[in-house]
Amino acid sequence: EDKVVQSPLSLVVHEGDTVTLNCSYEVTNFRSLLWYKQEKKAPTFLFMLTSSGIEKKSGRLSSILDKKELFSILNITATQTGDSAVYLCAVESPYNNNDMRFGAGTRLTVKP
């Protein structure tokens, strides 16, 4: 059965710390892996990864995919209180167009 596992489930850090969030997956016919940030309700898109080893970067956030080892990491440097949220990882399969399988998420809390 396809599955997406995120770790850790929760994380508490202080402002300025760097964090690494993990997402491992077992999905048949992988197409892409996506990261979303969910602060209150609507998940907002962060990154889409399709190729191994190519880092995607946006400000203090970056992400990379390893298709051989079947995992991705999301890095956040110099964390701020506004980074506090649930970070969701989702994997997409071409045989299920737009059917994304989500992990349970990592709840990040950044303390001042």
Residues that bind other proteins (CB under 8 A): 4, 6, 32, 34, 36, 40-45, 48, 50, 88, 90, 92, 96-105
For other proteins, the closer of residues 4 and 76 by Cβ is: 4
For other proteins, the closer of residues 75 and 93 by Cβ is: 93
Residues linked to residue 85 through DSSP beta bridges, in sequence order: 108
- Cβ of residue 42: shortest distance to other proteins, in angstroms? 4
- Cβ of residue 32: shortest distance to other proteins, in angstroms? 7
Q: What angle do CA 29, 5, 33 make, to 5 degrees?
A: 45
> Which of 19, 33, 25, 5 shows the shortest CA–CA distance to 108?
19
